[in-house]
Amino acid sequence: MNKFSFFISISGLFGLVSCSGNASESAVLPIDTVQTDSAPVLEDDHSYSNVHDVYSKHLHLDLAVDFERKVLSGSVVHTIENVNGVTEMVFDMNDEAIQKITLDDDTAATAYTIGEDDELLGSALTVQIKPETKKVTIYYESDPGSNSLQWLTPQQTAGKKHPYLYTQGQAVLTRTWIPCQDTPLKRITYSAHIKTPANLMAVMSADNPTEKSKDGNYSFDMPQPIPTYLIALAVGDLSFATLGERTGVYTEPVMLSKCVYEFVDVEKMVIAAEELYGEYKWGRYDIIVLPPSFPFGGMENPKLTFATPTIISGDRSLVSLIAHELAHSWSGNLVTNATWDDFWLNEGFTVYIENRIMEKVYGKEYSDMLLSIEYQELENENEDILAGSHPEDTHLKLNLDGRDPDEGMTSIAYVKGALFLKTLEAAAGRDKFDPFLKSYFDLHEFQPVTTEMFVEFLNKNLLEPNNIEFNTDEWIYGEGIPENCVAVESDRFDKVSEKAALITSVNSGAELNVKKTDWSTQEWMHFIRQIPAEADVTKMEMLDNEFNFSTCGNAEIMSEWYLVSIQKGYDKINKPMEDFLVTVGRRKFLQPLYEELAKTESGMALAKKIYTKARPNYHSVSTGTIDEILSWEE
Ligand code: BES
Ligand code: ZN
């Protein structure tokens, strides 16, 4: 794989600071710290592109959506900046069929080569250009097996009448549907013309239509520069409803009113985030609720969060996921991890901000429960990783060279990252920490940032001015969870634990004296996690009779329940669990269940039986993971 590097213009970045109106608001400014001569050399092990020599600053897509053939076909026009006057421009691609490449307004084809194919990273597409070339147009078609795209049949949608298509870009999948320089080191603006079959609507991570067009022609504009992993498209039988002044929701018509009910507080969340970290820079904040195969809970595509329908619980209890994706509008989308080794800068900051938004909108008692749930996951995963072959994956700063960036998607980046910031917050006090974070976003907006750049910024602008001693290096370059980590506690969870301890000594669920409506989803999740080791199948049945966990409809509760049930051999869940696994494609739910099943022979047999049915419904992100767990051969 090719490596590359380039110098980020630190002097240009910090030149802005002196005239920034924000400086006076913050106790930690002014900032004049990073020296040009110490500017870091930035490298991305997961891209072939030569962005240090020549980079694409705008791309225009012209694509037709062909559901029959499962391809997007048309062209991408790259408007380029040739910094070093080079005669070759390298793009990332993965399996697209290239028909022809032209320069500027010429119609004659230029020469290009396609390098060796790597399963994960695809190939280098090297195009012969001239030093004065301004535009490179690539005529191409995506592969029907593109790892970004999921083509759904009408049967796989809520309405059952129309096909559906959506993309997933992060981390290295955009190159499987757009030949581009697919690295978070550089940002790009984009525009698009998308042609869909009649009766469908197309939406993108861009300014969007709110109604179907008559002829299936849609135009898009994304004027803010973004990294390519945030380019996204969805096409289906979509309808739109307004939530607030700047907020709204897209989904299939049969889902629309449920989504509107669930998302009543979204505008309040935007306001809460702005109060903390400054103006929302992306215009509108809309959400698209996708079919259940979507492999993630949410994806922070700018202007339009992509979300799983498993958060539509009917009681608004899973909306912290929206707070999370919204938080990425600052951490990730505005200030972006320079490489996937710095992924915690995206996710750790985002989990921290998510929790601050939740505290502001719903109160501390509730945000404490949310963090406790996550902390339990961190403790377990930390132990697992330390016991495995890559204990260094418990560092915040990763080294994913030669590995799938997806492997960095653990609670380390998310929760250890957030707790690092929470521990810093406790050391400095919110009066200093909040303006510090706000200035971090202001000063690095629309820029890539490395872990090292953040550490330097932290030292100069929070720790040194306030004489705070902090074990930053241990947090970032050390294994596990440092001793000084803030305590994560929840009084409400303590009460739940007391009830759970009674499970082995009561003879009926009613004796526990808890009504279904007494507790939040998070309290029920905690209750299930706290079921004592000694509780046997009879106790499981007792609880199921009383609380109906197996078929309660709340995906978070059901998946926790199925996991404990597999461990205890409570097989009355087998049918509802199969239904769940066949419909839902969210990897976070699938992975632990298949892993638990795979531990025994009979479980493995059941897993394989279910997977045979379920696999056609999953996105490649999920089949990639589950194929490995079950040693599945297509
Ligand atoms: N950006 C991530 C999803 C992602 C990460 C996709 C890495 C591909 C590679 C998104 O913001 C996310 O973290 N989603 C979580 C939500 C949760 C933490 C609230 C998810 O999908 O579970
Ligand atoms: Zn995230």
pLDDT digits (tens, 9 = 90+) for 543-565: 999 999 999 999 999 999 999 99
Q: Which of 230, 299, 373, 625 to mutate to test the pocket of ligand 1 (most atoms within 8 A of CB)?
A: 299
Q: What is the C-alpha separation between 320 and 127, in angstroms, rounded?
A: 45
pLDDT digits (tens, 9 = 90+) for 311-334: 999 999 999 999 999 999 999 999
Lowest-confidence pick of 40-54, 438-452, 494-508: 40-54
Q: Is residue 483 one of the residues assigned to a domain?
A: no
Whether 217 shows a pLDDT value over 60: the answer reads: yes
Q: What is the CATH number of the domain that holds 543?
A: 1.25.40.320
- Report CA(19)–ligand 2 centroid distance (Å): 32
Same structural domain for residues 565 and 424? no
Residue nearest to atom 20 of ligand 1 (CA): 297
Q: What is the C-alpha separation between 343 and 437, in angstroms, rounded?
A: 17
Q: Is residue 613 one of the residues assigned to a domain?
A: yes
Residue nearest to atom 14 of ligand 1 (CA): 298
* Boundary-marking domain end, from 327, 346, 373: 327
Same structural domain for residues 58 and 148? yes
- Report CA(207)–ligand 2 centroid distance (Å): 22
- In 196-296, where does DSSP find H-type helix? 256-262, 266-277
Residue nearest to atom 15 of ligand 1 (CA): 297
Whether 15 shows a pLDDT value over 70: the answer reads: no
Residue nearest to atom 6 of ligand 1 (CA): 170
* pLDDT tier at 11, thresholds 50, 70, 90: very low
- Give residue 104's domain range: 54-327
Residue nearest to atom 3 of ligand 1 (CA): 299
pTM above 0.75?
A: yes
* Boundary-marking domain end, from 267, 299, 327: 327
Q: What is the mean pLDDT of residues 246-268?
A: 98
Q: Which atom of ligand 1 is nearest to the CA of 408?
A: 7
Q: What is the CATH number of the domain that holds 398?
A: 1.10.390.10
Within 8 A by CB and 6+ apart from 107, the residues are none
- Report CA(564)–ligand 2 centroid distance (Å): 27
Residue nearest to atom 8 of ligand 1 (CA): 170
- pLDDT for 557: 98
Q: Is residue 484 one of the residues assigned to a domain?
A: no
Provide the Cα torsion 159, 160, 163, 168; round to 10°. 60
Residue 497 CB coordination number (10 Å) = 14
**Residues with beta carbon inside 6 Å of ligand 1?**
170-171, 296-300, 321, 324-325, 328, 347, 406, 409, 414, 588
Q: Which of 174, 289, 296 to mutate to test the pocket of ligand 1 (most atoms within 8 A of CB)?
A: 296
Q: Which long-range contacts (CB under 8 A, 24 or more apart) does 574-577 make?
A: 574/606, 576/550, 576/551, 577/550, 577/610
Q: What is the DSSP string of 276-326?
A: HH---TTS-EEEEE--TT-SSSEE--TTEEEE-GGG--SSSTTTHHHHHHH
Q: Which atom of ligand 1 is nearest to the CA of 295?
A: 21
Same structural domain for residues 495 and 560? yes
Same structural domain for residues 18 and 114? no
Q: Which atom of ligand 1 is nearest to the CA of 343?
A: 7
Residue nearest to atom 11 of ligand 1 (CA): 299
Q: Is residue 88 one of the residues assigned to a domain?
A: yes
- pLDDT for 596: 98
Q: What is the mean pLDDT of residues 105-110?
A: 97
CA of 323, nearest ligand number: 1
Q: Is residue 485 one of the residues assigned to a domain?
A: no
Q: Is residue 38 one of the residues assigned to a domain?
A: yes
- Report CA(340)–ligand 1 centroid distance (Å): 14
- Report CA(351)–ligand 2 centroid distance (Å): 7
Q: Is residue 49 one of the residues assigned to a domain?
A: no
Instruction: Give ion ligand 2 contacts, CB < 5 A.
Output: 347, 350
Same structural domain for residues 497 and 610? yes
* pLDDT tier at 32, thresholds 50, 70, 90: very low
* Boundary-marking domain end, from 327, 349, 369: 327
- pLDDT for 26: 36
Q: What is the mean pLDDT of residues 477-481?
A: 98
- Report CA(410)–ligand 2 centroid distance (Å): 11
- Report CA(547)–ligand 2 centroid distance (Å): 32
Q: Which of 120, 347, 353 to mutate to test the pocket of ligand 1 (most atoms within 8 A of CB)?
A: 347
Q: Is residue 241 one of the residues assigned to a domain?
A: yes
Whether 29 shows a pLDDT value over 90: the answer reads: no
Whether 358 shows a pLDDT value over 50: the answer reads: yes
Same structural domain for residues 408 and 532? no
For residues 87 and 97, is the Cβ–Cβ distance under 8 A? no
Pairing of strands 239-242, 247-251: antiparallel
Same structural domain for residues 100 and 187? yes
pLDDT digits (tens, 9 = 90+) for 156-172: 999 999 999 999 999 99
Q: What is the C-alpha separation between 124 and 140, in angstroms, rounded?
A: 15
Active-site amino acid positions: 325, 414
- pLDDT for 634: 82
- pLDDT for 40: 58
- Report CA(53)–ligand 2 centroid distance (Å): 31
Residue nearest to atom 1 of ligand 1 (CA): 299
Q: What is the CATH number of the domain that holds 163?
A: 2.60.40.1730
Lowest-confidence pick of 33-42, 110-119, 583-592: 33-42
Q: What is the C-alpha separation between 397 and 44, in angstroms, rounded?
A: 14
Same structural domain for residues 464 and 541? no
Same structural domain for residues 497 and 442? no
* pLDDT tier at 23, thresholds 50, 70, 90: very low
Task: Round the average pLDDT of the chain to a whole number and report it.
Answer: 94
Q: What is the C-alpha separation between 17 and 23, in angstroms, rounded?
A: 7
Same structural domain for residues 266 and 367? no
Peptide bond into 30 cis (omega under 30): yes
Same structural domain for residues 94 and 61? yes
* Structural domains of the chain, count: 4
- pLDDT for 208: 98
Q: Which atom of ligand 1 is nearest to the CA of 308?
A: 21
Q: Which atom of ligand 1 is nearest to the CA of 170?
A: 8
Q: Which atom of ligand 1 is nearest to the CA of 354?
A: 19
Same structural domain for residues 242 and 128? yes
